[in-house]
């Protein structure tokens, strides 16, 4: 079936009819909002009352989007954009879609580091670059570096730095097998590393499993703290005196991850809850 005309009202009726039963009505409204914003530059609230038409090329984009949404492709991949901490980011299946919990991590870092001069920050496992870019936008004097093992992710992150007019040093490196930097020291080390255990597969949404990069999500069950160990060890070597470390964590391993930081010599370790009251953020600092 194709969209019957290029009148916006016909498009809305078609969109609803095609996705009915696959998504709730309020989900369909959110999906339409994404599509209208990216494909036509208007919000769904405006589209709903518009008597205008859209071009053939826009109509084609809606047609493809509806096809993908029927297959449960996440809407952010369908339109290629995601919102994070007040900015827009390009996203493709090579990067994780930024999550609201991660916005809380960014917010904490900004609050605790605002006004400090000569800050040097590194974001490990940068993916779309959402953390690094948001930090640089809000801590403008800081020097921000961002690292990922994936060349495809770094390509998206580089686009996002340009899209948001910020300068970031991107580094392709394997944090599990290579050193963090060539001698550079940091005041802030942040990471949202892969932390979902393979055994948690069954609890995850199908659209996450089918479409988001497994490299960004999973760790083996027998070593869930693999990344946290490698990153804290690197942080000890590459942190300046008093350096602060901020992690997004697996809620199931809050205490174990905190103990690991303590073992490596970190102080003032705090386990913080997210909006859903789950242990999600861990912070601490070097002496």
Ligand X SMILES: C[S@@+](CC[C@H](N)C(=O)[O-])C[C@H]1O[C@@H](n2cnc3c(N)ncnc32)[C@H](O)[C@@H]1O
Which parts of this chain interact with ligand X (CB under 6 A)?
96, 98, 102, 125-128, 130-131, 147-150, 153, 174-176, 192-194, 215-216
Nearer to ligand X, 249 or 286 (CB): 249
C-beta neighbour count of 208 within 10 angstroms: 14
Nearer to ligand X, 79 or 147 (CB): 147
Nearer to ligand X, 237 or 262 (CB): 237
Shortest spacing between CB 75 and ligand X, in angstroms: 16
Instruction: Assess contact for 234 and 193: CB atoms under 8 A.
Output: no
Shortest spacing between CB 209 and ligand X, in angstroms: 14
Nearer to ligand X, 39 or 127 (CB): 127
Separation CA 47–CA 68 (nearest Å): 21
Separation CA 84–CA 94 (nearest Å): 17
Nearer to ligand X, 12 or 190 (CB): 190
DSSP state of 23: B
Shortest spacing between CB 160 and ligand X, in angstroms: 11
Shortest spacing between CB 43 and ligand X, in angstroms: 25
b or e along 61-70 (b: 16 or more beta carbons within 10 Å of the residue's beta carbon)?
bbeebbeebe
Separation CA 131–CA 146 (nearest Å): 9
Angle, alpha carbons 190-92-39 (nearest 5°): 120
Shortest spacing between CB 175 and ligand X, in angstroms: 4
């Amino acid at each position: 079936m194709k969209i019957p005309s290029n009148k916006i009202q016909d498009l809305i009726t078609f969109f609803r009819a095609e996705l009915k039963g696959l998504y709730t009505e309020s989900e369909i409204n959110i999906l339409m909002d994404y599509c209208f914003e990216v494909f036509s530059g208007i919000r769904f609230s405006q589209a709903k009352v518009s008597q205008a038409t859209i071009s053939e090329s826009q109509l084609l984009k809606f047609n493809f989007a509806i096809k993908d949404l029927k297959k449960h492709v996440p809407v952010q991949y369908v339109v290629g954009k995601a919102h994070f901490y007040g900015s827009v980011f390009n996203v493709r299946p090579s990067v994780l879609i930024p999550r609201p919990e991660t916005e809380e991590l960014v917010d904490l870092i900004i609050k605790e580091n605002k006004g400090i001069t000569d800050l040097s920050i590194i974001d490990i496992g940068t993916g779309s670059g959402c953390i690094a870019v948001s930090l640089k936008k809000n801590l403008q004097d800081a020097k921000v570096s961002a690292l990922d093992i994936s060349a495809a992710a770094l390509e998206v992150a580089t686009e996002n730095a340009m899209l948001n007019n910020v300068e970031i040093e991107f580094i392709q490196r394997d944090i599990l097998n290579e050193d963090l930097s060539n001698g550079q020291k940091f005041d802030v080390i942040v990471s949202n590393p892969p932390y979902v255990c393979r055994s948690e597969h069954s609890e995850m949404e199908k659209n996450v499993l089918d479409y988001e990069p497994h490299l960004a999500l999973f760790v083996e069950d027998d070593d869930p703290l693999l990344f946290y160990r490698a990153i804290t060890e690197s942080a000890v070597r590459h942190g300046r005196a008093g350096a602060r470390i901020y992690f997004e964590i697996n809620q199931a391993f809050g205490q174990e991850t905190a103990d690991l930081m303590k073992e490596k010599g970190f102080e003032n370790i705090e386990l913080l809850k997210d909006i859903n009251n789950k242990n999600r953020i861990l912070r601490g600092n070097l002496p």
